[in-house]
Amino acid sequence: MLVNYSNISFFLIISSIILFLGSCANPQPPTGGPPDTTPPVITEYYPENKTTNFSDRLVKLRFNKYMDKSKVLENFSISPNVPVTFDWSGKVLEIELPEDLDTSITYSISLGTEYSDLYNNKPETAFSLIFSAGDKIDSGFVSGKVYDNSPQGAYIYCYSLDNINPDTLNPSKTQPDYRVQLGTNGEFRITALKDGKYRIFSIKDQFKNFLYDPSDNYSSSLTDLVVKGAKSEPTILKLGPPIDNMGPSLIDATSEYSNRISLKFSERIDPNFVSSKSFELFTPDSIKNSIIATWIHWENKSKVELLTKESLDTNKTWIIKAITGKEYAIRDTIGNLIIDSLNTMRFKASAITDTGKITLLYTPLKDSAEYIKVSPKLDFIFDRALDTTNSSINISIKNAESKEKVDTEIIINSSEISVLTKKELKDNTWYIIEAKLKNIKSANNENSIDSNITMHFKTVDYKTKGSISGKVQFDVDICDFSKILILKSKGGKDIYYKELGNNNEWSFKNIETGEYTAELFCDVDGDGKYSFGTPYPFTYSEPFVVFEDVLKIKPRWELENIILNVKNSHAH
């Protein structure tokens, strides 16, 4: 039998190539056996920590197991920030440095605790390696903690303020001199710093471009940090939501009826600034039509409905313009005015006239509802704006047992009727609300409804609640502004605010039971809410204190004389 040796050689070559490629592929965890739950560890590294006069261009890290390479690189940082390249060889990561390392600077390579091996095991401790191309190691540092429900993945960006005008620092344009990624506990430490002044930000950099973007969660520092004699005071930050500085824009206008226009905005609109004065309606040849009623859509709060005085000419193109720069200009729910370049839309009108009957969409509660607040806001919501002149509205609340009438205030806001009690209702008590909605009409006086509604409800039982009171004791004062105490339940479901009273006393009555933590902040801007600062133009975040003690609230129980101490270690 003849053997074709050329075919055998070809087979051996192909087999060798396949085996070689297989060995070069990203290693996979072997199948079978108990799962690996041991944390990864860096067993060797080069150069040695705190090496001086380092002239090599390669830094090497050896892990004790095969790693998820992408997660390792996501967690890698070098400070100050210089361009590096990476190369993996099995369990060894090689980091190639640029040739022109500054001999007057100490460099720090760090890995946090959020990377993992191929079994998703994370390291127990962070890793840091310090070295210098010169003959000196800088040993200064800044450290602290970021408070957030899930700080992992966010960064601390640190900028040296020496030799620059701090007012010109814009983190959306300039990458940080130093950065470190946060782990699950929010603590951070940036090492190898010279003596000097530094500014830090906490940023959840979703684009991983090492710049601040408006969609990033953000917080300014409480103050700039000074490193002196290689030491600095620790600091704290509270990571906030993305900063919304942009007003709404008008993105669509349609007219399904000849006398109604539906406007869609880019975000939720504040209903208190929606009125007929907020809009102009006209054609390109200057024919005008009046808006006689406006209302926020009952379901989509970024949608505004307009009712016109006359039917729109279907042969013409109509222009709707949201007025800008006036006290009645459209704005979002945090007060940003409509963008003046995105406030106009063109549309064609339908030939169909809206003759639909006004409809009551929602009542404030179901009959026999329980656990209602003692200071309720009871809303009746209709599908269109009400005619408040010709409609008869009579809504009352009375004690179901004593028949005593409750003193109320009725507020009509376009398509909603709100009933508020002027005093707190009795707890654990049944009440009756009667709504006589006689001849309710829409703003264009088309078709009415005649409805009488009776509902029973029971207020919350304070016996299931608890109370707590005490005093904040300051070893060091944190500001000269009003101070607001916050109680947060475990999980953040229930949150209560209270401004400190005389002698820094505080009290929370009839709150939900459970475990709480307390925070205190200085209301510098006086808006009653915590302010996280701004990146550019720069403003500091408001000073705050987090008390670590857990406060347990029990039913029918009042905790008294609780002392919350603001110690020197809190003074940031």
Average pLDDT for 410-420: 93
Question: Is there a cis peptide before residue 364, judged by omega within 30 degrees of 0?
Answer: no
Q: pTM here?
A: 0.80
What residues are paired with 547 via a beta bridge?
518
Q: Is the dihedral of CA 402, 404, 409, 410 positive or negative?
A: positive
What is the CATH T-level fold of the domain 464-570, as seen in this structure? Immunoglobulin-like (2.60.40)
pLDDT at residue number 387 = 86
pLDDT for the residue numbered 27? 59
Q: Is the pLDDT of residue 569 over 60?
A: no
Using 50, 70 and 90 to split pLDDT, how confident is the model at 1? Answer: very low
**Rounded average pLDDT over 145-170:** 94
Condensed to tens digits (0 to 9), the pLDDT of residues 16-29 reads 433 444 444 455 65
Residue-level pLDDT at 11 = 39
**What is the reported pLDDT for 560?**
95
DSSP state of 230: T
Residue 525 DSSP label: T
Rg of the chain over Cα atoms, rounded to whole angstroms, equals: 33
Q: Are 97 and 73 in contact (CB under 8 A)?
A: no
**Across residues 384-394, what is the average pLDDT?**
84
Q: Say which DSSP state 297 is in.
A: -
pLDDT band of residue 492 (cuts 50, 70, 90) is confident
- Tell me the two tokens of residue 84: 């590096």
Is the confidence at residue 323, as pLDDT, over 90? yes
Identify the helix (H) or strand (E) that includes residue 557. Answer: strand 557-566
C-alpha–C-alpha distance, residues 541 and 393, integer Å: 48
Q: Which residue has the higher pLDDT, 534 or 450?
A: 534
Question: Per-residue confidence at 449, pLDDT binned at 50, 70, 90?
Answer: confident
Q: What is the pLDDT of residue 32?
A: 62
Q: Please give the DSSP secondary-structure letter assigned to residue 97.
A: P
pLDDT beyond 70 at 15: no
d(CA 390, CA 439): 8
CATH number attached to the domain at 250-348: 2.60.40.1220
How many alpha carbons lie under 13 Å from residue 271 in its C-beta half-sphere? 16
DSSP H or E segment with residue 22: helix 5-24
The reply to whether CATH 3.40.50.1380 applies to domain 51-238 is no
pLDDT bucket at 208, cuts 50 / 70 / 90: confident
Kindly state the tokens that stand for 346: 């063109």
How confident is the model at residue 2, as a pLDDT?
Answer: 32
Sheet order of strands, 514-522 included = 495-499, 483-489, 514-522, 544-553
Residue 375 has pLDDT above 90, yes or no: yes
Residue 226 has pLDDT above 80, yes or no: yes
- Cα–Cα distance between 153 and 75 in angstroms, integer? 8
Q: What percent of the chain has pLDDT over 70?
A: 93
Domain borders along the chain are 51-238, 250-348, 360-460, 464-570
- Over range 33-49, report the average pLDDT: 93
The 10s digit of each residue's pLDDT in 336-366 is 999 999 999 999 999 998 877 888 999 999 9
How confident is the model at residue 446, as a pLDDT?
66
User: What are the beta bridge partners of residue 347?
Assistant: 318
Read off the pLDDT band of 126 (50, 70, 90): confident
Question: What pLDDT does residue 20 have?
Answer: 40
What kind of fold does domain 360-460 have according to CATH? Immunoglobulin-like (2.60.40)
Pairing relationship of beta strands 369-372 and 448-459 according to DSSP bridges: parallel
Instruction: Note whether 51-238 and 360-460 share their fold.
Output: yes
Confidence of residue 195 (pLDDT cuts 50, 70, 90): very high
Average pLDDT of 287-295? 94
- Between CA 559 and CA 552 the distance in angstroms is 9
What average pLDDT score do residues 166-193 get? 93
Among 306, 304, 271, 264, smallest CA distance to 289 is for 306
pLDDT bucket at 443, cuts 50 / 70 / 90: confident
